[in-house]
Structure 1
Amino acid sequence: MVSGFEVESERLLEFGKHLDELETNLKATAGLVGGCVGDVGLWGLVGQLFGTIVIENCQKTERQFNDYGNTIAGFSDKINEAAKRYEASEAEAGDSILRYKV
């Protein structure tokens, strides 16, 4: 008896759900970081330069978290597609074997 290669599509789908949650969390973090943008006037005359730097960095960080979330979403889509393809290939292989069974 020979053992073959086996993929558990349920585990792939479970990992895809984990990636979806990670994407959601990253985008929520991006929103939180982006929310640090405030009125530069609150920093006072001398602190306005500092406030501007903080706001620019918060905006940059927000974009980076969103970009990372989008990348994770792409991975999730690919994992889910791989699980579907595996299931389809496995069913097709089973049908082929049964068709030629003596």
Structure 2
Amino acid sequence: MKEIQATELADKLKNGENIAIIDVREDDEVAEGMIPGAKHIRLGEIPDRLEEFDRNEHYYIVCRSGARSGRATEFLEGNGIEATNMVGGMLAWEDEIETPSDK
């Protein structure tokens, strides 16, 4: 499984890279803040929402600590979707966040 550190993902955002981030946490966790531009798809919904993933895109998967996003990354890769797990999850994220009210 491919992995990326939170600081590396933050650098990609700061450098203006057009990246796709999927946050697999639950609604109450996301309400506390998520990485700007991330799309929220709860872990349990991913199998039913596979059609929303572009097989030509690379996805960075995020959760609270890195465990759920690891499971999501393995599932997506097993279904032919390129994905990378953000190690340490939002607990390791030290950069900007946005809340649903910011959108």
Bin of the TM-score, shorter chain as denominator length: under 0.3
Larger relative contact order, structure 1 or 2 (CA cutoff 8 Å, min sep 6):
1
Q: Based on CA coordinates, which of the two structures has the bigger radius of gyration?
A: 1
TM-score with structure 2 setting the length: 0.21
Higher helix share: 1
Higher strand share: 2
